[in-house]
Chains A and B, each alone.
Chain A
Amino acid sequence: MPHVSLTVNGKPASADVENRTLLVQLLREKLGLTGTHVGCDTSQCGACVVHVNGRSVKSCTILAVQCEGANVTTIEGLATDGKLHPMQEAFRENHGLQCGFCTPGMVMSALDLVKHNPDPSEREVREWLEGNLCRCTGYHNIVKSILAGAAAMRGQPTKAAAE
């Protein structure tokens, strides 16, 4: 049986997989990291977005064996010492989620945007979310959250910090 070794959230991880095992199956079923969700399994909804070698990808559309030696970051890898990442905190503060199913993918996608574009406009955020579907929020508060999260990451005080 194929064996993959990779780094997940900064720690070495490895598992026996099949060649057809998807990265998301490796994460959820073998490594117990169930924060990454499967919404559609057809490469469309973005609930499964994680970072592979620093880029956001749909983990339902990449094989686990393709990630041999890769550096993978999931939603579980963002908080440090029990403290939410500023982007996660922004989603909480701005009511950027309702059922929360799309949220891990939204946050991971948002972080890839901010990496390339630390101060995105509202329009840029909306365009970037092309591959992330939400059935609850109507997106408005997700966009607000990402703008606030980006501001917090730039070191500007968020509403939460100001209060």
Chain B
Amino acid sequence: MYDFAYHRPTNLADAARLAKEAEAKLMAGGMTLIPTLKQRLAKPSAVIDLGAISDLVGIRVEGGRLTIGALTTHADVARSAEVRRTIPGLADLANGIGDPQVRNRGTIGGSLANNDPAADYPAAVLGLGATIQTNERSIAADDYFKGLFETALKEGEIITAVHFPIPEKAAYAKFPNPASRYAIIGVFIAKGPQGVRVAVTGAGNGVFRVKAMEDALAKNWSADAINDITVPASECNSDIHASSEYRAHLIGVMAKRAIQAAG
């Protein structure tokens, strides 16, 4: 690891000011950033630790939506009675991320800012049609994810919270990589204020929706409704973990499991 300056601001305004400095890097749980620094894949001049900004932590339900602060850990989402009551599929998703120690540190904001193509939260955020709140604006999920590790965030922009509309039904099904638990394929399906939404992670260069499945499920909410719908293998990645054909096949299987789990 190259050395860097370290700042631990206690309020968002200070963090935003520090984040504007050239080559500064924000840090939340550090579960992605610290391994990246160790491999010398990044050489920030300064690391700005968001961990002391208590306003960014917390879970609340108001006005028909569930709001999760950006610095809330996966473990806290997984154990939250509010999340369990409003969107149980989201609590299950959080509980399936990595391992207990990753869940104790990793945060929803960090996961969304990083936008790993095999990460779990992007599927929930896109599948539920959530809104990403930053210190500058709010961004609809459909406008947020821009492909491989790319998002709509500008340099130094800080995610402060994520607002989830509360769905009628929703569930996540994932086929995890047996070693890392990242998704080989993960499918989040929701039926709610924005209609039926189907979001797939792990398949390609970033999370995407499957319109054909959404239309079929809007007409007929059952696993059988998507029997004949496939995502072309040409839209899926091939790597040591799974071929593109296998990933394409898993999308159908995981989608059906998600519908069954959603009930």
Interface residues of A (CB under 8 A from B): 2, 18-20, 22, 41-44, 46, 49, 55-58, 61-63, 65-66, 68, 109, 112-113, 116, 128, 130-132
Contact = CB atoms under 8 A, between A and B. Distances in A.
B30 A128 contact: no
A91 B3 CA distance: 39
Give the top 4 A-B pairs by smallest Cβ distance, nearest first.
A131-B99, A130-B99, A19-B6, A20-B1
Contacts of A68: 8
B193 interface: no
Contact of A18 (B3, B8, B47, B179): B3
B149 interface: no
Q: Interface majority SS on A: helix, strand, loop or mixed?
A: mixed
Interface residues of B toward A: which range? 20 to 34
16 contacts: A18-B3, A20-B4, A20-B37, A42-B35, A42-B38, A43-B35, A44-B180, A62-B34, A63-B49, A65-B8, A68-B8, A109-B101, A113-B100, A128-B100, A130-B98, A132-B99
Given A19-B47, A66-B49, A61 B99 contact: no
B65 interface: no
A65 B6 CA distance: 8
A69 B127 CA distance: 40
A62 B2 CA distance: 15
Interface of B: 1-6, 8, 30-31, 34-35, 37-38, 47, 49, 51, 75, 79, 98-102, 104-105, 179-181
Nearest to B103: A131
A46 B4 contact: no
Given A18-B3, A20-B4, A131 B100 contact: yes
Contacts of B34: 22, 43, 61-63
Contacts of A43: 31, 34-35, 102
B33 to A, nearest CB: 9
B27 to A, nearest CB: 8
B38 to A, nearest CB: 7
A43 to B, nearest CB: 5
B104 A56 contact: yes
A65 B34 CA distance: 13
B100 A56 contact: yes
A112 B100 contact: yes
A41 B38 contact: yes
A46 B99 contact: yes
B1 A131 contact: no
A65 B48 CA distance: 12
